[in-house]
């Protein structure tokens, strides 16, 4: 699943915080030595004893050699209290920033520059949804959330007003407020926002219908809604300018995805299943994930969780293991709402004016006046367009219906996962995991492997969620959700394995619509290729069966199947156009390439520059900048245009670029020119890793070069790309900021241990030895083992003493 990823412009809060801190540091004139000492004072206590008065009995917290806390308590009450306390030790500022961003309360501690950010997230109503979800939780789950909050607050009370409070709070000049159960739930809702968005796809397609010919628009739809005439007409008649109706500043990363697979005993050396999972999210310091091991008389579970939430969301216990990828379903719908000219709080519905719900959301501003703000909610959901525009500037407004705004109880599911012992118990827990929808893979020690695409996926009265629909008629909207028992499910398949990589998971025979936009198929196809390709011992000829070592090797695989599909055709075009042999050395480089995106190879550099140039040539200059950012599936659309063109059916977009040959060759020439400008003309010295740099930036880094040097981990050359199993998506400037935020491999033959990588490290404190110790591990695939049987080699033991 999954996390609070770095998203460049999409996270304006980062800029707000870093500039505020930068100014404070400059004004304070702190010397480097003094700053080191000042920051060191707030390092977490990891050894010895510490009194924590909320505990009923003593709790043992043992950190292993990579900083993973192993918490052993005599009751679940003390286990969750200690979990809250320990997470706050390492990640309190991250936790506070996350709850404030999701809740829309940043301006309260940052100032006026965060007001627009707050308006956006107030409008998206994440905290309101979290509060509604709280009411739907059972008493046991509520109690666990309260125990966890007690632990966080015990740490806050311990350090506030002292040098032990994390330095970020002091620099910003505030003390964190008490933690509440709603804070944990709102972080969960934020992850649904990060992983469950498609409103921008609908906004873009609506714009395309209005601004391009039908032929042009059809090529920009992965699947054109041929049978939705009334919906298309409604979008053609929109008078509001979509280029100004929506902000693109907070769009989740388009590449949020993941890999997971589970392999049955017939393929494995032990005869027991193997499971692998690597969720792809933004790469930042600190990590979105916090790895932990939790043990009480009632449970023994290990894995990762988002800082600010109790339990373990992904991982294993003594009987089962599980992992997820994003389904990418269409779970957000835009409605074209018609406001009453005489009453801005009324909207037309079936020929009548219907009152909207208005929530007063005053925004407190540090060193400024409180700003009055209101969220207007129609029967479909909140009005999300024109958050910063005057009402008189629009003819229509757009509301958003979204599954995550329902009352959902994902934490109950997580707590159920942690104590489940078999597939039947795990599937019962899954019924409460509704937003975001995820592809769950599962394995158990009894040999079972299973899969379920789980979550709320709407069934629409009309359309498939490709376009905004009229909000003034009961003919549109959601009828219900795909029934739980009819969600895609596989148990012990004949193939002996199950894999997902955000690819299309259902065929035409499936009776329900899930998504208009699946990920490119290359990661999935490569995973299947590696599982199904037999490997033999070179000396004995014996068929080698799979172990955890092969699973780790698969997660680090860099074969580029996109290039396998397209490069031969592209090379034929380039060679035919290069009549004078100007690019002979570059062409030879590509011809000799074995299709692996290795960091020391030059061919991946040329190939990825070429593909990006073609995508940009088609779309970037053809539409306003914000519309280009709204555009979904650029890579998938470009791929299909190339397939069609090489099949003899060039579409209007490529034709307008001068035809296939000129289009490809121009993009190739431009790619070579750019590479020569950056890395010189010596083709033999070109390396993908000279450009493709693993980047775990800290939120404070942009405040000054001094801070960047101080808080940013080292950038390292790395292989892989957005289409390889070792996902390493760069931002257009060579900064790999998106990829496997956690790597996990479990051998069901021995669930006392599992294999992990959490980049850049466990701790959010820059003076900790575990701040960035896993970055090179991320590059080279060096996993650490985490045990749950009490055997810990290197350990730092802290006893949390009950008073």
Q: Name which of 803, 677, 798, 696 is nearest 740 in CA terms.
A: 696
Give the integer Cα–Cα distance in Å for 688 and 221. 32
Looking at residue 342, what is its pLDDT?
A: 93
Reported confidence tier of residue 657, pLDDT bands at 50, 70, 90: very high
What would the two tokens of residue 114 be? Answer: 């965060």
User: In degrees rounded to 5, what are phi and psi of residue 289?
Assistant: -100, 150
Arithmetic mean of pLDDT, 287-310: 98
Given the structure tokens 């980062």, which residue do they identify?
14
How would you label 31-55 residue by residue, b for 16+ Cβ within 10 Å and e otherwise? eeeebeebbeebbbebeeeeebebb
Q: What is the pLDDT of residues 121-144, one digit of tens each?
A: 999 999 999 999 999 999 999 999
What's the mean per-residue pLDDT of the chain?
A: 92
Give the integer Cα–Cα distance in Å for 158 and 156. 5
Give the integer Cα–Cα distance in Å for 519 and 504. 7
CA distances from 571 to 121, 589, 592, 606 (A): 47, 11, 12, 12
Give the gyration radius of the chain's Cα atoms. 26
Looking at residue 579, what is its pLDDT?
A: 95
CA distances from 236 to 231, 245, 463, 517 (A): 9, 16, 16, 22
Give the integer Cα–Cα distance in Å for 586 and 578. 11
Give the integer Cα–Cα distance in Å for 724 and 596. 9
Residue 18 has pLDDT above 80, yes or no: no
Arithmetic mean of pLDDT, 80-103: 97
Residue 394 has pLDDT above 80, yes or no: no
- Write the DSSP string, 133-144: HHHTS-HHHHHH
Give the domain ranges of the chain.
561-595+602-686
Give the integer Cα–Cα distance in Å for 419 and 500. 25
In sign, the C-alpha dihedral spanning 334, 336, 337, 341 is positive
Looking at residue 167, what is its pLDDT?
A: 85
Arithmetic mean of pLDDT, 2-12: 39
Residue 392 has pLDDT above 70, yes or no: no
Contact 652, 215 (CB under 8 A): yes
Contact 351, 376 (CB under 8 A): no
Given the structure tokens 């490569």, which residue do they identify?
526
- At residue 391, the 3 state secondary structure works out as helix
Give the integer Cα–Cα distance in Å for 574 and 440. 43
Q: What is the pLDDT of residues 205-252, one digit of tens each?
A: 999 999 999 999 999 998 777 767 889 999 999 888 888 888 888 888
Q: What is the pLDDT of residues 567-604, one digit of tens each?
A: 999 999 999 999 999 999 999 999 999 999 999 999 99
Give the integer Cα–Cα distance in Å for 667 and 665. 5
Share of the chain above pLDDT 90, in %: 82
Q: What is the pLDDT of residues 401-447, one digit of tens each?
A: 999 999 999 999 999 999 999 999 999 999 999 999 999 999 999 99
Residue 367 has pLDDT above 80, yes or no: yes
- At residue 232, the 3 state secondary structure works out as helix
Arithmetic mean of pLDDT, 653-682: 98
Q: What is the pLDDT of residues 752-780, one digit of tens each?
A: 999 999 999 999 998 999 999 999 999 99
Give the integer Cα–Cα distance in Å for 670 and 691. 16
């Amino acid at each position: 699943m999954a996390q609070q990823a770095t998203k460049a412009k999409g996270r304006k809060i980062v800029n707000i915080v870093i500039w505020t801190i930068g100014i404070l540091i400059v004004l304070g004139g702190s010397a480097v030595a003094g700053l080191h000492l000042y920051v060191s004072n707030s390092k977490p206590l990891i050894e010895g004893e510490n009194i924590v008065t909320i505990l009923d009995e003593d709790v043992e917290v043992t950190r292993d050699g990579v900083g993973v806390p192993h918490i052993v308590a005599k009751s679940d009450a003390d286990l969750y209290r200690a979990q809250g306390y320990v997470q706050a030790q390492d990640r309190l500022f991250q936790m506070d920033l996350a709850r404030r961003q999701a809740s829309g309360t940043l301006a309260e501690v940052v100032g006026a520059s965060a007001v627009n950010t707050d308006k956006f997230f107030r409008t998206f109503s994440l905290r309101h949804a979290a509060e509604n979800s709280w009411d739907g939780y059972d008493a046991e789950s509520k109690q666990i959330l309260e125990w966890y909050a007690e632990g966080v607050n015990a740490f806050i009370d311990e350090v506030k007003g002292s040098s032990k409070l994390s330095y970020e709070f002091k620099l910003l000049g505030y003390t964190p407020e008490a933690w509440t159960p709603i804070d944990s739930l709102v972080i969960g809702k934020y992850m649904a926002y990060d992983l469950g968005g498609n409103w921008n796809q609908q906004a873009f397609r609506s714009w395309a219908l209005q601004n391009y010919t039908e032929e042009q628009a059809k090529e920009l739809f992965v699947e054109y809604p041929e049978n939705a005439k009334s919906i298309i007409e409604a979008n053609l008649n929109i008078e509001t300018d979509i280029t100004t109706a929506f902000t693109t500043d907070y769009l989740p990363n388009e590449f949020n995805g993941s890999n997971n697979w589970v392999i049955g005993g017939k393929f494995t050396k032990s005869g027991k299943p193997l499971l692998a999972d690597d969720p792809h999210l933004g790469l930042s310091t600190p990590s979105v994930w916090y790895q932990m091991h939790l043990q009480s008389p009632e449970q023994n579970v290990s894995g990762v969780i988002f800082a600010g939430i109790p339990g373990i969301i992904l991982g294993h216990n003594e009987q089962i293991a599980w992992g997820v990828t994003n389904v990418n379903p269409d779970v957000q719908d835009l409605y074209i709402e018609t406001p009453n000219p005489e009453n801005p709080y009324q909207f037309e519905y079936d020929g009548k004016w219907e009152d909207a719900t208005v929530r007063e959301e005053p925004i407190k501003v540090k060193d400024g006046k409180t700003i009055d703000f209101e969220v207007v909610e129609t029967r479909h959901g909140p009005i999300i367009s024109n958050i910063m525009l005057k009402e008189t500037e629009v003819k229509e407004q757009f509301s958003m219906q979204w599954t995550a705004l329902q009352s959902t109880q994902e934490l109950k599911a997580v707590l159920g996962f942690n104590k489940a012992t078999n597939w039947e118990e795990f599937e019962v827990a899954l019924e409460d995991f509704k937003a975001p929808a995820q592809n769950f893979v599962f394995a158990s020690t009894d040999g079972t492997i299973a899969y379920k695409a789980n979550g709320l996926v709407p069934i629409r009265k009309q359309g498939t969620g490709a376009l905004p629909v009229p909000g003034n008629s009961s003919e549109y909207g959601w009828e219900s959700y795909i029934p739980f028992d009819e969600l895609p499910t596989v148990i012990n398949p004949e193939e002996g394995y199950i894999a997902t990589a955000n690819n299309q998971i259902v065929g035409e025979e499936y009776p329900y619509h899930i998504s208009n936009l699946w990920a490119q198929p290359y990661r999935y196809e490569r995973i299947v290729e590696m599982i199904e390709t037999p490997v033999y011992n070179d000396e004995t000829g014996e068929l080698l069966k799979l172990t955890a070592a092969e699973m780790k090797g698969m997660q680090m695989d860099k074969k580029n199947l996109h290039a396998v599909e397209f490069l031969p055709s592209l090379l034929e075009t380039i060679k035919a156009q290069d009549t004078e042999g100007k690019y002979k050395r570059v062409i030879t480089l590509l011809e000799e390439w074995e299709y692996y995106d290795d960091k020391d190879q030059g061919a991946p550099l040329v190939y990825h520059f070429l593909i990006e140039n073609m995508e940009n040539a088609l779309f970037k200059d053809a539409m306003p900048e914000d519309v280009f950012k709204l555009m979904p599936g650029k890579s998938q659309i470009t791929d299909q245009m190339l397939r069609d063109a090489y099949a003899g059916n060039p579409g209007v977009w490529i034709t307008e670029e001068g035809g296939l040959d000129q289009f490809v060759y121009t993009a190739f020439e431009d790619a070579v020119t750019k590479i020569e400008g950056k890395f010189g003309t010596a083709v033999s010295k070109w390396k993908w890793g000279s450009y493709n740099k693993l980047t775990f930036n800290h939120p404070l880094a942009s405040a000054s070069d001094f801070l960047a040097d101080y808080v940013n981990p080292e950038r390292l050359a790395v292989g892989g790309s957005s289409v390889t199993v070792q996902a390493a998506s760069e931002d257009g400037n060579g900064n790999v900021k998106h990829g496997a935020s956690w790597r996990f491999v479990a051998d069901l033959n021995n669930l006392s241990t599992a294999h992990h990588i959490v980049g850049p490290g466990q701790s959010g404190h820059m003076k900790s030895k575990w701040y960035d110790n896993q970055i090179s591990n991320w590059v080279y695939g060096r996993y650490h083992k985490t045990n749950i049987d009490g055997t810990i080699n290197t350990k730092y033991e802290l006893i949390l003493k009950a008073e």
